[in-house]
Homo-oligomer: A and B are copies of this chain.
C-alpha cells in the first residue's frame, strides 16, 4: 500500500479526494465498513443489454446502482465518477485503448454508469472471522482470472465468468463460505473451491488481472465471482465505447457494508 496514512480509516469522501488528486493504488483494505464497487459506463443505447446481462448473471454482476444518462454521480456515490476512482480503463470496439487517471474527456453526454458489487467489501468480515486475506497481507492487488465458464448472454453482450481468488487454509474454507454467503450483493459465496483446472485456469501464478499471490501448503484456492466480468463481456462483444475501473482500483461508494448482510 503506497498511501502514507491508514487507508482503512478514511471516509469515502477522503479516499475519493486522494484518487481525484491522482493517487493510483488498489483499493483493497480501504475505507473499512464502506462498500466498494466495480464501474462500467456505456452509452444509453447499450444500457438495457448491460442491465439485463447483470440480471441474468447476478453472481458476478450484482448491481448496486445505475446513474441517469449523463450523470456523473448517484445517490450511492456522491463523488464524480469520472475522476474519483484511482484508475480507469477505456474500451473502443472491445479493445483496451487507454488506462487513465480520469475520464472527463471521454464521458459522453448519454453515458449510463453501473456500480457493481465488489468482493473487497466482505474482506473485512473475512479478516474479522480470522480468515487471512493474502493480497492485503502482501499489499498487492487480488488475482483475477478469466474462466472457461460462459455467462448467460443478454442482447449484444456475452462473455466468460471472471473470478477473484483468495487462498484459504483448508480448516477455514467452511468459515470463508459461511461468512461471504451473507453478502450476496457483493458476490456472496464462492463459486468454486479448489481445482482451478475445472475453471480452465492453467496457472494461478499468471492471473489475467491483478497480481499473483502466494498459495501456501495446506491452503486451498477459493474463487469468488468477480465484477470485472462485465468488462470481459465488453472485450468479447466489442461495443463502440465502454469505460470501466482498472481492475482492483474500485469506486468507493457511500453504501455501508452492513446494508448487504443477509439475513
Contact = CB atoms under 8 A, between A and B. Distances in A.
A55 B63 contact: yes
Contacts of A178: 263
Nearest to A68: B155
A46 to B, nearest CB: 11
B51 A262 contact: no
Nearest to A114: B55
A58 to B, nearest CB: 9
B55 A263 contact: no
A254 to B, nearest CB: 16
Q: How many copies does the complex hold?
A: 2
A262 B178 CA distance: 11
Nearest to A69: B155
B55 A262 contact: no
Interface stretch (A88-96, A140-148, A181-189): A181-189
Interface in A161-206: 178, 181-182, 184, 188-189
A182 to B, nearest CB: 5
Contact of A48 (B47, B184, B188): B47
5 contacts: A51-B51, A51-B52, A178-B263, A189-B263, A262-B262
Contacts of A182: 262-263
Contacts of A188: 262-263
A55 B115 CA distance: 12
Contacts of A262: 181-182, 184, 188, 262-263
Contacts of A66: 52, 55-56
